[in-house]
Structure 1
């Protein structure tokens, strides 16, 4: 009862041997061997090609360029990224999130940034910027006022720009209120403004004066500035293009500069304008 069953074993071994010796069995074995050799060869080829690539110049960054920049200098983007020619392409690419953050920290005007590999080893940064909507003058310094309200110092005097210069806005909250109102204006009205000055007084701490490109001056209160200024083109037509001071703080009054007291508003010399006039 405890003996082995050689007959059964021999039958199984014989069947296996017979199956392996058959043409179909040999083909199957050959396919398996070929597959294993193919995998092995591909593995070594991949390792060899990778080794050659990583010791070749093609694994190093060759050229770095910038696209999408309008106000930010290309070299500033490259310098702030810390990326240099000759560095590893893939190490740098996989570290791009850190690079993007470095650029944004150094250049607050950069809104977003992407990195592309062109060819085998050329890098291109593509950026979008926060637009400059105005300039702020603080003493002898000038700042870019960005669309998000941030200020970027500019060492140069602003010349030949169509954007207005904000003067004496020493309070950040007041500046933000003014920017919110300014951004609500139609584009054609924005281009008419040369300077904006905060001339707060005891009666109205939010009083501003706008100096227009055609020589007119406008008094208005910041909370209602955009609403009042939208009517400015109509008011100019109502006075037949004559230059003077428009007081839009409360109502609409016009004082021609031709009067003797042209710099101080005087209702006796001024003209009350019809606020509903479309002339």
Structure 2
């Protein structure tokens, strides 16, 4: 009987060994095939899914280590099984939190990556769009001058100002705008009435010439015609048939050097004296080239130098009040008064006719 049992044991053991080998081989084969499937699946995963899979493997590995470290005592195992139901839900919740936090932790990185892509895309679009827009503008009608207008002119025709500027409608806009100082210089040179001019944009491809004119301060009488005299002493050779009553008349003046100081001194006089002056004649003598004869509205005449006209004429209202009859107030050297008589010079007689 023992021999039989021993023989049975001897015959059974090889079979058990073979089965164990086959089971181990199948297990190894299954593990290898599962690993291959996992590797193939990992290759098809996105970067985020790979990262998440790696995180789950780490969590599983840490769990296995904790299980191996647990005691193998049946009593302890039973106690742990009793506590397992209580802690299992907590562990699942913690794993869920870890999974959610792992996803949310990676969201800022993804957002920053998208922002960088958008920024680069915007830069590329801008670099290609700006040259394209510049090229389209250069070849479009918007790059050509379409219209020119004039503002501020009172005595000069607008078309005359545009013609004197040499601005060309239909030509390149910016080249003419960059040379605008040259165009305004031509206007001032050709038109003596223009004090200054400025060229500026009035629309996308339109110009406006803003003009400031010299003020007319007096009139120059020549051959029974009247020519405007501007504030700079320039005489405009555009005759007028009738004189403006609000402007003083100058006669026999031949040069701007004579006109300018006369006008300056005249406008420095008090308003009441200015309003009493009707005409100023240039009447130089052999010894004095500055003599003026001023015809007053009250019938008197004043002889005075151009240089001291402002100072001497200050006394005229007082002198006129003390005169019994109309006459001549000589202020060339001092102040002398004499009446009109038959011995008056030809210039004085001409002055009476002018009155």
TM exceeds 0.5? yes
For 1:171 and 1:150, locate their aligned partners in 2 and report how far apart those are by CA, in whole Å. 9
| Cα offset, 1:229, TM superposition | 1.9
More helix per residue: 1 or 2?
Answer: 2
Q: Return the offset for 1:110.
A: 2.5
Q: Which residue of 107, 110, 113 maps to 2:191?
A: 107
Distance in 2 of aligned mates of 1:115 and 1:198:
41
Residue by residue, what CA displacement relative to the aligned partner does 1:218-252 show, whole Å, maximum 9, x if unpaired?
22222222222233333444447x64433333314
Provide structure 2 residue ranges, at least 5 long, that are not aligned to the other structure: 1-46, 52-105, 349-355
The 3 A distance-change label for structure 1 pair 161 and 120 is farther
CA distance in 2, matches of 1:75, 1:97: 19
SS at structure 2 position matched to 1:61 = coil
Q: Distance in 2 between matches of 1:114 and 1:265?
A: 48
TM-score (normalizing by structure 1): 0.69
Aligned residue runs from structure 1 range 158-197, under 5 A? 159-197=243-281
Q: Given that residues 187 and 194 in structure 2 are in contact (C-alpha distance below 8 angstroms), is that contact kept between their aligned partners in structure 1?
A: yes
TM-superposed deviation, 1:209: 0.8
**Does structure 2 conserve the Cα–Cα contact (< 8 Å) formed by 1:141 and 1:153?**
no
**How do 1:222-237 and structure 2 match up within 5 A?**
222-237=306-321
Deviation at 1:253, TM superposition (A): 0.9
**Candidates 120, 135, 148, aligned match of 2:219:** 135
Counterpart of 1:83 in 2: which secondary structure? Answer: coil
Give the aligned partner of residue 96 of structure 1.
Answer: 180
Q: Which residue of 1 aligns with 2:285?
A: 201
Deviations 1:92-122 (A, max 9, x none): 2222122122222222433322222123333
Give the match for residue 275 of structure 1.
none
> 5+ residue gaps in structure 1?
1-16, 267-279
Aligned pairs for 1:49-88 within 5 A: 49-88=133-172
Q: Choose the corresponding residue for 1:248, options 319, 331, 340.
A: 331
Alignment size in residue pairs:
245
